[in-house]
Structure 1
Amino acid sequence: MQVGHYISLPLGWTAHPFMRNSFKIKNQEQITVLRSLGLEQIEIIPGKSSIAVTLQADEQLNQDQLADKPQADPKQLWLEELRKGQKRANKAYLQSADKFRGALAKFTSRPDEAYYSIFEQVNTTLQLLFKSSKAHSVYVSLEPCSDEDIFFHSVNVAVISVLVAKNLGFTEKECQLLCIAAMIHDIGELKVPHQIRRKLQEWTSAEQNFYQTHPKFSVDLIKKAGSFPEEILPMVLNHHERLDGSGYPRGVTAKEIDKPTQLLAIVDAFEHLCSPLANQKKLTPQEAFALLYKSAGTKYNKLYLEQLMNTLGIYPPGSLVSLDDGNFAMVMSSNPKQKLKPRVLLLEKGKSFGNANVLDLSKEPQKIVKSVKWDEVPAVLTKNYDAKLRCCYFFDPDQE
């Protein structure tokens, strides 16, 4: 486009500063104004132009447009990628929970279908996990607590277990068996009466004893289904056992608890502490880590516990933290390369999860001072946030 070209604008007369939609360009200033309109195409009419319309002129325009185009803001680019990763992880998590819910509905009436549904889901998850050799960022998905917490708990334990197992060097086959076991380790809880599982008061001794039989219930249901690999049975039966013999249902010690079961036991305990039963106290991830670490080497495999902390980060997704500039934030995803500098969502007055500002602490000057609880954050900042949301974990399935 040059001085002398006759053009026709694809705009209404109120959308540009010229007298007419069609006119001959008289000077360079008009070309500058035309470029500022942001149009991808402008029609040039050769028969009314005083100079020839050439391909060279079109190419020059494209080059000028590229030169004038503002460069993308790197900060905006990583934020967009973070949001995309968060969205993909959230979608993958909900799909996984939904498929698992459907599989459990078939468990007693159509056990073969239930097995193949779970087997397919597990393999899909592992294919996504192992397509990248890098350590995965873990994202949090915030879901309402409900009577279906067994689905969220099972998927959480399965996803976290295989993330940790991969980082520990478990083979894909070992991860497959671990993931299947984690998916159905608590299926026996469905035989525990609702009034016990959802009871707000402390359990009686009889209720406690009945609940502690659920690993045996799980094994019975799995055996009855008849399709699941036998290798998962010890993991399911012993996931509440402890190295020192203080667990249940049989009180066995370390020599009778294989390595995958030791890992499953740690992840299950961590998830239960952060999202407990109705009559138990909810802990922050840091409180859960601290409590578990007190028993590292006695009740829990210390190496596996440390790898869990390494996988989720010092401040796991879903944690509330205070920053050194006085702000409060929620951790949204871990940062495998810089574990003290995760991506966080600022808790600000009038904001919600949908429109809050997000910071990548590896790119910002702010630092985390400490982990905090909901009741330590000023109410004016948490007005639009629900403290009862359950933290659910997944990784970005598109990570290369």
Structure 2
Amino acid sequence: MSKIEIPTDSLQVGHYISLPIGWTAHPFMRNNFIIKNQEQLTVVRSLGLDNIAVIPSKSKVAVPDTNNEDDLAGADQEEPEIDPDQAWLDELRNGQKRANKAYLQNAEKFRSALTKFTSKPEEAYYSIFEQVNITLQLMFKSADAHSVYVSLEPSSDEDIFFHSVNVAVLSILVAKNLGFSEKECQHLCIAGMIHDIGELKVPQQIRRKPSEWGQAEQNFYQTHPKFGAELIKKAGSFPPEVLPIVINHHELLDGSGYPNQRKASELDKATQLLSIVDSFEHLCAPLANQKRMTPQEAFAFLYKSAGTKYNKLYLEQLMNTLGIYPPGSIVSLSNDGYAMVMSSNPKEKLKPRVLLLEKGKNFSNANVADLTKEDIKINKTVKWDDVPAVLIKNFDPKLRCCYFFDPGQ
């Protein structure tokens, strides 16, 4: 399929073009499409591209000879029209951008607060408190269930930031759907942000060890909730409701957790919820010496212990909040293709928005699809290793899945 590059100013309605930029950088459904009207032509010309590739064989008008000014004077001037197929994509793009921006702001604020935790604990608390309140105001301004978006970020040695924000955000999304009050969500969100702060006292050679821990290393790691509680007490500013959530977030209903083998009757509802979300997140993005699971595998693993180790109602609500196919899941499609789920769809849980894994594409320029508007169904969830290598050569499976809701909803 031959392409001809022409100056953007020379484009006309009827030209079939191929945009060289990622799907988040333009408002169209695909990178390759025919310009239908003057409105689309105006948008294309506003993208800041000097030249754009045109495919003559798919165009409805001739590709002008850029050396002949007479050929450039006859651009079709059609009346602007609304393309209904664009509405869902505009919604997805804008929601994705807002969610991604909010997530990164939360992670950076939390990172900054933690650097002050030992030297200026009161300042750290107020920084966390402010960010938590902003997040809750955004979440509670809509009574509807929120779509959950995935943001893909490079993994780093500072994974505690990603993990903590993920746990905090998912916990309050589930809590809201369960009917927790805004004050209860505030305490839960603060606890989610700092629940693993005690890990900062665990030596890096243990946390990042790629092989199995010895018993002494396991025992030392399992003291991190107590370390966290000590730091919170020393700070002296945090609400008293936060402390039991932090110290008990690895406790289980049957008393088989740690560090104090608490049972269900000793664990408040916020602790029981945070325990589930923390476990789910750790299964999907584990420590260096643990096996990584897909979201579906993590749900199946946790559900085996529903009612014995984990609160069954809360686990089911987490599954309901993230959807049948949680964001970040890799799925096979009924058209023999593969995709990554980009956002949940509370109204149609079997039909999320997906990013198509296609040959020659990558995360920045891959096509997206709303399965409510496509004659395509999801067959099942799969692992990266199950996707043909030719399709994912340019995709990085090691990117960290981070979750947030659309604050503009």
Q: How does 1:59-78 map to 2 (within 5 A)?
A: 68-78=78-88
Which residue in the other structure is 1:236 paired with? 246
More helix by share: 1
Shift of 1:70: 3.7
Work out whether 1:118 is the aligned partner of 2:128: yes
| CA deviation string 1:121-175 (max 9, x = no partner) | 0000000000001110000000111110000000000000000000000000000
Cα–Cα, structure 1 residues 387 and 15, in superposed 2: closer, same or farther, change >3 Å?
Answer: closer
| CA deviation string 1:156-215 (max 9, x = no partner) | 000000000000000000000000001000000000000000000100000000000000
Shift of 1:341: 0.5
Cα–Cα, structure 1 residues 15 and 218, in superposed 2: closer, same or farther, change >3 Å?
Answer: closer
TM-score (norm 1): 0.83
- Counterparts of 1:149 and 1:201, CA distance in 2: 18
Which residue in the other structure is 1:183 paired with? 193
- Counterparts of 1:142 and 1:334, CA distance in 2: 15
TM-score (norm 2): 0.81
Q: How does 1:142-181 map to 2 (within 5 A)?
A: 142-181=152-191
Equivalent AA in structure 2 for residue 233 of structure 1: L
Which residue in the other structure is 2:272 paired with? 262
Work out whether 1:397 is the aligned partner of 2:407: yes
Work out whether 1:105 is the aligned partner of 2:115: yes
- Counterparts of 1:108 and 1:15, CA distance in 2: 60
Shift of 1:344: 0.3
- Counterparts of 2:120 and 2:156, CA distance in 1: 26
Work out whether 1:249 is the aligned partner of 2:259: yes
Which residue in the other structure is 2:352 paired with? 342
Which residue in the other structure is 2:284 paired with? 274
Work out whether 1:317 is the aligned partner of 2:327: yes
2:152 match: secondary structure: strand
- Counterparts of 2:339 and 2:78, CA distance in 1: 38
Shift of 1:252: 1.1
1:216 match: secondary structure: helix
Which residue in the other structure is 1:204 paired with? 214
| Equivalent position to 2:296, from 279, 286, 307 | 286
| Equivalent position to 2:377, from 367, 378, 399 | 367
| CA deviation string 1:276-299 (max 9, x = no partner) | 000000000000000000000000
Equivalent AA in structure 2 for residue 215 of structure 1: P
Shift of 1:365: 1.2
Equivalent AA in structure 2 for residue 175 of structure 1: C
| Equivalent position to 1:383, from 393, 400, 404 | 393
Shift of 1:68: 4.8
1:370 match: secondary structure: strand
Shift of 1:77: 2.2
Higher gyration radius (CA): 1
Work out whether 1:84 is the aligned partner of 2:94: yes
Percent of aligned pairs with the same residue? 77
Which residue in the other structure is 1:218 paired with? 228
- Counterparts of 2:340 and 2:316, CA distance in 1: 23
Deviates more, 1:70-79 or 1:198-207: 70-79
1:282 match: secondary structure: coil
Equivalent AA in structure 1 for residue 144 of structure 2: K
| CA deviation string 1:231-263 (max 9, x = no partner) | 111100110000011100011110001111000
- Counterparts of 1:69 and 1:237, CA distance in 2: 64
2:390 match: secondary structure: helix
Shift of 1:116: 0.3
- Counterparts of 1:237 and 1:112, CA distance in 2: 20
Equivalent AA in structure 1 for residue 346 of structure 2: P
- Counterparts of 2:81 and 2:323, CA distance in 1: 34
Which residue in the other structure is 2:341 paired with? 331
- Counterparts of 2:340 and 2:327, CA distance in 1: 8
| CA deviation string 1:313-372 (max 9, x = no partner) | 010000000001100000000000011110000000001111111110111110000000
1:230 match: secondary structure: coil
- Counterparts of 2:237 and 2:207, CA distance in 1: 28
Which residue in the other structure is 1:127 paired with? 137
2:351 match: secondary structure: coil
- Counterparts of 2:352 and 2:242, CA distance in 1: 34
2:142 match: secondary structure: coil
Moved over 2 A (4+): none
Work out whether 1:358 is the aligned partner of 2:344: no
Equivalent AA in structure 1 for residue 269 of structure 2: K
Unaligned runs of 5+ in 1: 1-13, 17-34, 40-66
- Counterparts of 2:134 and 2:79, CA distance in 1: 42
Cα–Cα, structure 1 residues 194 and 130, in superposed 2: closer, same or farther, change >3 Å?
Answer: same
| Equivalent position to 1:136, from 123, 146, 152 | 146
Unaligned runs of 5+ in 2: 1-9, 13-37, 43-76
